[in-house]
Amino acid sequence: MRKCLFTLFLLFSSYAVAEVEEHFVRVADPYIEMHTGPGRGYPIFYVIPRGEWVQLLYRKTDWFQVTSEDGKKGWVSAGQLAMTLNPSGKRVDIKDPDEKDFIVRNWEYGVTLGRFGAKLGNFDDGLAIISFYAGYHFTENISNEIIFSQASGSVSSKTLFSLLNIVHEPFPEWKVSPFFTLGTGWIQTKPKSTLGATRDRTDQYANFGLGARMHLTKRFLLRAEYKEYVVFTSRDENEEITEWKLGFGFFF
């Protein structure tokens, strides 16, 4: 299960690339180095000499995807780009992400921890839950999230997966920005009892909830949320479950 969670997290992060405004800069140092990927662990495959122009394409954390004059495409660190010149001849100003970038973000992903099935004001009951999520913002107010969660307790463990979780954020410009969620997905329950009558089951659920986000620094945000689930079981009555979670996110 841990391997599955780690793979899912890497999958989400592989799409965490932000497009930047198209513009050009000129190399002022003797050269800048182009890597095959956004990190110092990727090999250097090309060197752009002083005086040549470079086109900026995308930004991923502190790395920029660029194209050289002869069409070579690779990744350059923000530190090296800070030593280049813009068309007016001034040093390029590489700004850290701020609250304005937080408001107009496209991708957001992160991890949250909490209790699944805990009653209001009592966090000792219920199952411990960890969730990984990745969300795409269609507008400043509307986004959809893919969520994978694992909840575990002494009696049973539950795995939740949702491809549809609509998030409405009415006031994204607020320092603490509230949001509302509505979604659906599947929940798999695995009893830990050794009795022969117990068996795994998979049910569909619907959920609604509310929460709040707060921009912390650069690309990081704090996220808190509460949800209520209705699990459509094959038994006579549906199951109602509450969830509380707190965690961190990363946006582009």
Reported as a single tens digit per residue, the pLDDT across 19-29 is 444 488 999 98
Question: Are residue 187 and residue 137 in the same domain, yes or no?
Answer: yes
Per-residue model confidence as pLDDT tens digits over 121-159: 555 568 999 999 999 999 999 999 999 999 988 778 999
* 71: CATH: 2.30.30.40
Residue 119: predicted pLDDT: 62
Question: Are residue 118 and residue 224 in the same domain, yes or no?
Answer: yes
**What is the signed CA dihedral for 58, 148, 237, 226, rounded to 10 degrees?**
-70
Question: Are residue 220 and residue 105 in the same domain, yes or no?
Answer: yes
* 202: CATH: 2.40.160.20
Question: Are residue 175 and residue 58 in the same domain, yes or no?
Answer: no
5 lies in a domain?
no
Select from 46, 66, 95 the last residue of a domain.
Answer: 95
Residue 100 CB neighbours (<10 A): 11
| Residue-range definition of the domain harbouring residue 218 | 101-251
2 lies in a domain?
no
Does residue 35 register a pLDDT over 70?
yes
Does residue 103 register a pLDDT over 70?
yes
If 0-12 CB within 10 Å is exposed, 13-18 middle and 19+ buried, where does residue 249 land?
buried
- 0.75 surpassed by pTM: no
pLDDT interval class at 8 (50, 70, 90): very low
Per-residue model confidence as pLDDT tens digits over 158-205: 999 999 999 999 999 999 999 999 999 999 988 876 555 567 789 999
Residue with tokens 């209705």: 230
Domains contained in the chain, number = 2
3 lies in a domain?
no
Does residue 1 register a pLDDT over 80?
no
Residue with tokens 């707190």: 246
Select from 78, 95, 112 the last residue of a domain.
Answer: 95
Question: Are residue 108 and residue 140 in the same domain, yes or no?
Answer: yes
89 lies in a domain?
yes
Question: Are residue 164 and residue 66 in the same domain, yes or no?
Answer: no
- What is the longest distance spanned by two Cα atoms in the chain? 77
10 lies in a domain?
no
Residue 27 to residue 15: CA distance in whole angstroms: 29
Question: Are residue 33 and residue 113 in the same domain, yes or no?
Answer: no
Select from 50, 65, 95 the last residue of a domain.
Answer: 95
Question: Are residue 124 and residue 31 in the same domain, yes or no?
Answer: no
